[in-house]
Amino acid sequence: VPLWRCECVIQLCSSSFFTAPECYPGGHRILRSPYRSVDFDSTEIQNTAIQDLICDHSLLAGWYRFRINNKPAEMPTSCIEMNHCGTQAPIWLSLKDTSLPRPGQVRQLSACATWQFFHGSAKDCCLFRIPITVRNCGDFLVYYLQPTQGCMGYCAKVAPESGSRVCLPGEVEVNGQCKVLVPSLPSRPVITPELIGHSVHLRCSFVPPPWSQILGFQVVWARHIGHKMKAEIRQESTLKPFSLVEMDGVHFRLGETFSCSVSIFKVSSNHTRSSAKESESFYAGLKFSPDSLHIAENNMEHEVTVHSTVPIPCFSSNLGHQCGVPLALSVHNPGQRHEVPNVVVSACQVEIQPKTCRDDSCGSATFVLTAVTDFTRDGNRLSLVSVLPGPGAPRLWRSYTPTSLKVMVQDIPTSMCYSLTDPHVITLDRRRYENHQTGTFLLYRSLARRFEVHSRQWDCGSRHYSVACNCGVAVQEGNDIAIIDMCNGQLQETRPQLIVKNIGEEGSRVRILESHQGKKVTLMFPSGAFVRGDVSDWGMSLSVQAPSVDFSNTQGLCGTFDHNSNNDFHGSNGGFYGPDDLERFIEDWRIAPGESLFDNTPPLIVQKARRPFCQCHREFTPSQQYSRGMVHSPLSHSDCSAYDNVDYTSVFPSMDTTAEYIRSPKREERILEVSALSSHPLEGRHLWINGQRSQHGDDFELDGELREDLLLSPHRPKRHTSFEFQPLFAAQSLSQTDLESFAYFFPEDHLAEARPKVQPQWPTPNGLTSAKALEVCQMALVNSTIGVMCGGLLGRHLDEAVTLCMMDLQLKDDLGWDEGLLPFLENECEKQLLDNRTQRAMQVHTSSGVSGEVVMALRCPNLCNGNGACTEWGCRCYPSYSNHDCSLSISQPIEITDLENSGLCDIRTFDCRSVRVFGLGFIDSAELSCLTTRLKFMNNGWIPEEQQKTKATFLSSKALDCAVPTLSSAAISTEDSMMDDKPYARWDIKVTNDGFQFSQAKMLTIYDGVCQVCEASHSGLCKLKEKTCNIDGMCFAAGSVNPSSPCLVCYPDTSKFTWSVNQVNRPPSFHRPQSSLRTFAGENFVFQFAASDPEGSAILFQLEDGPDGAALSPAGLLIWRVPLVLLKEEVQQSFSFMLSDECNAQSTFTVQVDVVPCGCLNGGTCMMDVSFPAGSGKYLCVCPGGKQGELCGEDVDQCLSSPCSAGRCISTASGYRCECPAGLRGLRCLEDINECERNPCFPGVQCINSIGSFSCGPCPKGMLGNGTTCTGKRTLQTG
């Protein structure tokens, strides 16, 4: 019984530690498969019975115990090779820096799955981590297992027999329990960097445990060479609580991760060691913050900081003693060497400045990066931003190549909107509709930023229908406004005017590129948006490129850019228009007269300074540049001045003409004058062989010298001024105020009603059938060079262009419109080429292969028609050929059909320095010029005299402007000028394209409409008007005043050829002051009189009578020093003066001035009060000392300023006096009385003086008192 009782007690004591329910047989399940053994090779069943593979993804979560072949088993605690434990990815238990729970304990651990991606790659022992809870039930372990994410399996190995369990390092088994012989560290070691002298060191610090014996520390430094793999570098035994190693660039290098582990041993016995504790890993080198980025092509800027985890020493270089590490930045796309980077940075070089090490940072440098808006469908791409220490960096850094920053760039869509020919509108989401209305419209507006495109449409000359075409476009981005405008003129006669202005002070950010001799003008904006105008005689086709930042943020006639064409017809108030409401949709986006960018300058906005961004290619040098800015070598230059955040790549050869059109902000208020007279027409620019023409094409040498002609004033209105329009439709009535609010009058903005709906039919009125139109359009477009070369890229867009071409021919009933869609095909081809490129630089700069043929077709339209060589800059025409495609023969004959206004020009109404010539066959060639022959009337006939070659300004193939030589007054004899029927001048006008073959002549008659009436006749003679004078070769109407003297007038009844004296000249008028004039005694009285002359003559003032000291200037300024006398009452003084004009007409006037006495008292003086107008007589008193008040009648209480310090202030008649307290004296009680001078203390006692008082020291020894009075010490009497 005792034996049985003893066993029972032992059993109860043993089981009392393990009362957890999962330790009982019903509290856990048992996994018995022998395949789970670490010794089982899974390849055996993979080749024979793959269905038997262990996959624990369907395992139910719960407590489990392992048994292998009926033996207790446990999960292994070291890495298991792949294809073991009956699975491909075996799971083992990780004991990183910890241990299994002791008997009765439970511990949260994690398991690892081993995996190798492919044969030959590195094995990852812990690719996946799974949380596991382990409880030690005494004789066995149970595990709380989770189902796995894939086909993985938990491993097991046979457990050691009971009683032979191995204790942890530093423990021994005593009576079946593990006891500690040497304590381990209470906490993990910590690695910190520090600077010792000029060397960087790593310190492994740790806290020793409390122990009664002397302990030693074994420190092992390791380098991480892979995931969960380390290589031991150094071992050290020390008694100190730290270990210090130098980063020597050999064993300890930048760019590597280190850790230290520390175990403890007894100094007296080195055989027993504690378990080691390992530090957190420490990375020595540069780190990016953030360590990776995911950005998008949306113009957002991202700040990146480069941190150094180790301190930076000061060092000596060629630049002297300096601190910091210069870093060169570079960007590249892995595996895509030739592509433009998807990422650009704000600087190509930064410098890490040292600071006190804190939070893993011992120095930092910051830069900004952004994604490139590249208008390429290149998907989401990875870019690497690398930093490289410069050659002047400290020695430790020179061989260090930091890990690059990974930047994933999300591709955001871009698109193009078109407004073509009459016009056909293709929205950003490729929906197509027709807009046949005229006026000004909002084509495109961004909701994400300040960007708008306004288009103007005029009637472009259909023979049967109301058809509109674009004649102008105005664009605003931020504070920049750019306008291409040909609406201020006539169809077929107008060259586009280009105006660029900035309403802020930061300078214009717009770039202007001209291609094909000014026929293709592109306005480039900082956001990447561009607006392109393809200019023709009838107007222009427009292309608007939407950058990625505007995706899902647009409105206007271009629709809503969201890849959903069904919702493109959105109104300005957010409403939606259906397909049947197209007219209402178009009208909704019409801009009211005077409100568009053509007429109105919007308010200034505050916008942040534009940050430059550079590509920073590592292999480039500063000598390698792009046209858009320097591409810097990261090792030679730290500044970045380019703007590479937008890829402006274009295939069309172009010339940057921005500088020609930038407008000064000081001239903004003169928009009407500048736009009408001073803006630059887009003259043809081309590269001509044999040096025939300069690059800018604006140097023109005239055969004769242009002389001044006062009658041909540059300030006279141009003949094609906007107000000469005579619209054939009903328009709204406009006031003069309305007209002045416009840059020019655009009549299409003032239609009283909508234009009728166009409903064309086949065949057209001229008999054109749809079949013939299809044949013509296919020949012009599909069979064109661009159609053939670019057909693969254009695809369905080529068929779309043919359809639009047929609509143009049907609407215009004119086969001359067959090539109107070629610019659309060119722009769409370029878009498709750049949109789908994968190796951009290779495609754009090569001339071989399919892409090379496409590039050639875009650079050289129609391959120069065989009349020139195709170069990188476009067609280089052979002699005798011109145009951007060399299609025009300069020697072809010219026909002049008419001159403007039938060849009549009134010098009083129009600017007769040029004449518009209409005809056929004009070519914008280098030799295009006019030949003018002056005609002289002799013997009843016109005889040719001198000839001059003058400049011809090309407008179109049907119109140009010829400069007309000027004539001085001496060039016309007085005798001839007196003839009643002779005009002012007459010229023969001829035109040549090549300088050799001239057209037939047309007559230009210049006359003075004031005194002559001329008609277009063969005789060329005029009639002299009645009631006019012909004086010195100039005409004047009756009553006209001589420009030099108002006293001379044209009186035809008196003399038709000389000036007559003005008999009705009236004298000047005096403008009396609005109120009576007043002054005061002693004032310097100054007053300006005003007068005017009815004839506008100059006026002279002359003083006739007045007081002494008075003076009156010829301009009417009266100056009088009023005598300083004691007046008792107001007196009056008279001034008489005479007014005379240039014709000696005179008038006399008298003015009275009231003089009032100076009312200042007590010797105060009067001074003029400048807050009142001159002549008011108002004054202020300047008071003497001791007086104050408006009239100096009040005494000043000087005690108000507390002048007596600590004393009492008493006001007196002369000022004040101070009554000082005891101890102070002086005028303001600021002097201290030294009371010690009168020996107030008991003899022998020290006197101590203080401000306003004194004190005495202690009485002599043996005496009592306060120092002032001292008495003998009392003694007690006894007895």
Model confidence over 312-325: pLDDT tens digits?
987 665 555 578 88
Would you state the structure tokens that stand for residue 1223, as one six-digit string?
Answer: 């101890």
d(CA 580, CA 586): 12
Would you state the structure tokens that stand for residue 1220, as one six-digit string?
Answer: 């000082």
What integer best gives the mean pLDDT of the chain? 82
589 and 442 assigned to the same domain: yes
Residue 239: pLDDT above 50?
A: yes
71 exposure class (CB count in 10 Å sphere: 0-12, 13-18, 19+): exposed
Residue 717: pLDDT above 60?
A: no
555 and 473 assigned to the same domain: yes
d(CA 515, CA 529): 18
What percentage of the chain has pLDDT greater than the value 70?
84
Residues 6+ apart with CB under 8 A from 439: 456, 457, 590, 591, 748, 749, 751
Residue type, 1029: C
Residue 636: pLDDT above 70?
A: no
Write down the pLDDT at residue 726: 31
- Band of the pLDDT at 976, cuts 50, 70, 90? very low
Mean pLDDT of 1095-1101: 88
- Band of the pLDDT at 926, cuts 50, 70, 90? confident
Would you state the structure tokens that stand for residue 1232, as one six-digit string?
Answer: 């201290």
Domain boundary among 724, 750, 780: 724
Residue 330: pLDDT above 50?
A: yes
23 and 159 assigned to the same domain: yes
Strand ranges for 537-628 from DSSP E: 539-546, 554-555, 625-626
Q: How far is CA 673 from the centre of its chain?
A: 30
Mean pLDDT of 1101-1110: 91
Write down the pLDDT at residue 715: 35
Which range has the worst mean pLDDT, 82-96, 160-174, 531-545, 809-823? Answer: 160-174
d(CA 724, CA 726): 6
- Band of the pLDDT at 303, cuts 50, 70, 90? very high
Write down the pLDDT at residue 449: 92
Write down the pLDDT at residue 710: 31
What residues make up the domain containing 956? Answer: 900-1025
Backbone phi, psi, residue 252, to 5°: -120, 105
Nearest to residue 149, comparing CAs of 57, 236, 46, 256?
57
Residue 1279: pLDDT above 60?
A: no
Write down the pLDDT at residue 178: 61
Write down the pLDDT at residue 50: 74
1212 and 1259 assigned to the same domain: no
Residue 393: pLDDT above 70?
A: yes
Place of tokens 């570079």: 330
Strand 530-536 with 282-284, pairing: unpaired
Mean pLDDT of 58-63: 92
Residue 577 Cα distances to 86, 580, 928, 1117, angstroms = 67, 8, 51, 72
Write down the pLDDT at residue 282: 95
Please indicate, yes or no, if residue 1222 is contained in any of the structural domains: yes
Strand, coil or helix: what is 949? strand
Residue 838: pLDDT above 80?
A: no
Write down the pLDDT at residue 630: 31
Mean pLDDT of 359-375: 92
Mean pLDDT of 615-626: 51
Write down the pLDDT at residue 1115: 93
pLDDT of 998-1041, one tens digit each? 999 999 998 888 888 888 777 777 887 878 887 876 788 888 88
- Band of the pLDDT at 363, cuts 50, 70, 90? very high
Is the peptide bond between 103 and the residue preceding it cis, with omega within 30 degrees of 0?
Answer: no
The answer to whether 348 and 640 have CB atoms below 8 angstroms apart is yes
d(CA 467, CA 436): 5
Write down the pLDDT at residue 893: 82
- Band of the pLDDT at 714, cuts 50, 70, 90? very low
Residues 6+ apart with CB under 8 A from 950: 702, 929, 930, 931, 932, 962, 963, 964, 965
Residue 1150: pLDDT above 70?
A: yes
Is the peptide bond between 823 and the residue preceding it cis, with omega within 30 degrees of 0?
Answer: no
The answer to whether 54 and 21 have CB atoms below 8 angstroms apart is no
Residue 416, number of CB atoms within 10 A of its CB: 21
27 and 57 assigned to the same domain: yes
d(CA 559, CA 416): 11
The answer to whether 153 and 90 have CB atoms below 8 angstroms apart is yes
Please indicate, yes or no, if residue 1055 is contained in any of the structural domains: no
21 and 101 assigned to the same domain: yes
Total length of the chain = 1279
848 and 908 assigned to the same domain: no
Strand, coil or helix: what is 484? strand
Please give the span between the terminal C-alpha atoms of the chain, in angstroms, as a whole number: 104
What percentage of the chain has pLDDT greater than the value 90?
37
How many domains, the chain? 9
Write down the pLDDT at residue 770: 93
860 exposure class (CB count in 10 Å sphere: 0-12, 13-18, 19+): buried
Contacts from 1107-1110 at CB under 8 Å and sequence distance 24+? 1107/1133, 1107/1135, 1110/1135
d(CA 1222, CA 1208): 12
Q: Which residues pair with 264 in a beta bridge?
A: 217
Please indicate, yes or no, if residue 237 is contained in any of the structural domains: yes
d(CA 1063, CA 555): 70
pLDDT of 743-795, one tens digit each? 788 988 887 677 777 788 899 988 899 999 999 999 999 999 999 999 989 99
Write down the pLDDT at residue 707: 29
Place of tokens 């044949």: 775
Handedness of CA 160, 161, 165, 166 (dihedral sign): negative
d(CA 21, CA 32): 21
Strand, coil or helix: what is 1021? coil
519 and 567 assigned to the same domain: yes
Q: How far is CA 85 from the centre of its chain?
A: 63
The CATH number covering residue 947 comes to 2.60.40.10
Residue 618: pLDDT above 70?
A: no
Write down the pLDDT at residue 482: 94
d(CA 790, CA 1250): 107
Would you state the structure tokens that stand for residue 707, as one six-digit string?
Answer: 């002389």
Would you state the structure tokens that stand for residue 650, as one six-digit string?
Answer: 């274009």
Q: Which residues pair with 457 in a beta bridge?
A: 439, 470
Please indicate, yes or no, if residue 838 is contained in any of the structural domains: yes
Residue 127 Cα distances to 46, 250, 540, angstroms = 22, 31, 63
955 and 1086 assigned to the same domain: no
Residue 1134 Cα distances to 1108, 1127, 1140, 1141, 1151, angstroms = 11, 17, 20, 24, 6
- Secondary structure, 3-state, 708-727: CCCCCCCCCCCCCCHHHCCC
What is the DSSP secondary-structure string of 841-897?
HHHHH--SHHHHHHHHHHHSGGGGGGSEEEETTEEEEPTTEESTTS-EETTS--EEE
- Cα angle value 791/794/798 (rounded, 5°): 80
198 and 162 assigned to the same domain: no
The answer to whether 785 and 865 have CB atoms below 8 angstroms apart is no
The answer to whether 604 and 633 have CB atoms below 8 angstroms apart is no
Secondary structure letter of residue 779 according to DSSP: I
The CATH number covering residue 1259 comes to 2.10.25.10
The answer to whether 1112 and 1100 have CB atoms below 8 angstroms apart is no
79 and 35 assigned to the same domain: yes
Write down the pLDDT at residue 318: 57
Write down the pLDDT at residue 241: 94
Please indicate, yes or no, if residue 618 is contained in any of the structural domains: no
Would you state the structure tokens that stand for residue 1131, as one six-digit string?
Answer: 């007196």
Please indicate, yes or no, if residue 1048 is contained in any of the structural domains: no
Write down the pLDDT at residue 1153: 93
266 and 371 assigned to the same domain: no
Strand, coil or helix: what is 834? helix
Write down the pLDDT at residue 119: 60
Domain boundary among 410, 433, 448: 410
- Secondary structure, 3-state, 352-403: EEEEEEECCEEEEEEEEEEECECCCCCCCEEEEEEEEECCCCCHHHHCCCCC
Secondary structure letter of residue 650 according to DSSP: -
Strand ranges for 116-214 from DSSP E: 124-136, 141-145, 152-154, 157-158, 171-174, 177-180, 190-196, 199-205
Q: Which of the given ranges, 264-273, 620-629, 1242-1251, has the highest pLDDT on average?
A: 1242-1251
Residue 840: pLDDT above 70?
A: no
Secondary structure letter of residue 751 according to DSSP: B
Write down the pLDDT at residue 708: 34
Please indicate, yes or no, if residue 1255 is contained in any of the structural domains: yes
Q: Name the helix (H) or strand (E) containing 736.
A: helix 736-740
Secondary structure letter of residue 889 according to DSSP: E
Strand 62-68 with 29-31, pairing: parallel
Domain boundary among 724, 755, 784: 724
Residue 609 Cα distances to 415, 478, 505, 506, 526, angstroms = 27, 11, 11, 8, 12
d(CA 895, CA 3): 140
- Band of the pLDDT at 374, cuts 50, 70, 90? confident
Residue 12: pLDDT above 60?
A: no
pLDDT of 118-156, one tens digit each? 666 667 888 788 899 999 988 889 999 999 888 899 999
The answer to whether 375 and 834 have CB atoms below 8 angstroms apart is yes
Would you state the structure tokens that stand for residue 753, as one six-digit string?
Answer: 């009603």
Nearest to residue 539, comparing CAs of 581, 490, 578?
490
- Band of the pLDDT at 1272, cuts 50, 70, 90? confident
- Band of the pLDDT at 694, cuts 50, 70, 90? very low
d(CA 291, CA 964): 72
Q: Name the helix (H) or strand (E) containing 521.
A: strand 520-524
Please indicate, yes or no, if residue 260 is contained in any of the structural domains: yes
